[in-house]
Amino acid sequence: MPRFAANLTMLFNELPFAERFAAAKAAGFSAVEYLFPYDFDKAMLREQLVRHGLTQVLHNLPAGNWAAGERGIAILRDRVTEFRDGVFRAIDYAKALDCRQLNCLVGIAPADIDPRDLDEVLIANLRFAATALAAENIKLLIEPINTLDIPGFFLNRTEQAVRLISEVRSDNLFLQYDIYHMQIMEGDLARTMEKHLPRIAHIQLADNPGRHEPSTGEINYPFLFRHLDAIGYGGWIGCEYKPRTTTLEGLSWHAIQAFET
């Protein structure tokens, strides 16, 4: 049956960050994910996880200057040292939080740089990160993201991610499949997830349009949850959506209970 993780960047965001762990547990979640831990003390985050019996299932590698609009630096040749320093910073946090998966946001492609150069830098950086993470028994993930929400994002389709995984030639690089992003970019969700199931280490969800909770848009989530069970997906599903009202009211779709009964 599906296992759901609360994305604390987007859910319960009416609360101070440290209070969102308790709220997630009270709402029935047993796991959490969020974009970045780096603004917070590792000991505080660890204490919240332990106190509330939560598993940290995912966070991202450092992704440059987020406030200034950067969405990753892994494709940028002049930021390689910064990227690789960030890999070790991420490992430090992941070990403290017992987080076994880290996602690499690859970045927005500069208009004046040949995509082949961006690809070359990305492959080298992913190979470096996959090797460093493997030494700590942590999986490296890459995530295709739609180009409506993030115009110019370099990695935006499943087959592109699969090609990168093949070219990196590491058994420690996996696909993070976000149903919302891929519904916008390519559709054919059920068949794509089944085709690439061995490469998929993590799934995220939101409905479309609006990026709200399941049952608010065009995606048939009850069917997809049954499909994921049928094909044997055993990983977590991160609830990375924007509640239409409050998080608790948005849980009326009640995946946490509805698909365990």
**Phi, psi values for residue 55, rounded to 5°:** -100, 130
Q: Is the pTM above the cut of 0.75?
A: yes
Q: What CATH number corresponds to the domain at position 119?
A: 3.20.20.150
Which carries the bigger pLDDT value, residue 249 or residue 101? Answer: 101
Q: How many domains does the chain have?
A: 1
Enclosing H/E stretch for 189: helix 189-195
Specify the pLDDT at position 258.
45
CA torsion, ordered 173, 142, 54, 22, to nearest 10 deg: 170
Does the annotation mark 260 as catalytic?
A: no
pLDDT of 253 higher than 80: no
Closest alpha carbon to 132 in 154, 102, 162: 102
* pLDDT tens digits, one per residue of 31-58: 999 999 999 999 999 999 999 999 999 9
Mean pLDDT of 119-142: 98
Mean pLDDT of the chain: 95
Handedness of CA 235, 240, 246, 250 (dihedral sign): negative
Specify the pLDDT at position 254.
63
Confidence band for 256, pLDDT divided at 50, 70 and 90: very low
Helix (H, G, I), strand (E, B) or coil at 163: helix
* pLDDT tens digits, one per residue of 131-177: 999 999 999 999 999 999 999 999 999 999 999 999 999 999 999 99
Assess contact for 212 and 243: CB atoms under 8 A: yes
Confidence band for 257, pLDDT divided at 50, 70 and 90: very low
**Per annotation, catalytic residue among 19, 82, 136, 143:** 143
**Per annotation, catalytic residue among 19, 136, 240, 260:** 240
Q: Domain span at residue 24?
A: 3-258
Specify the pLDDT at position 259.
44
The crossing angle, in degrees rounded to 10, of helices 42-51 and 80-97 is 40
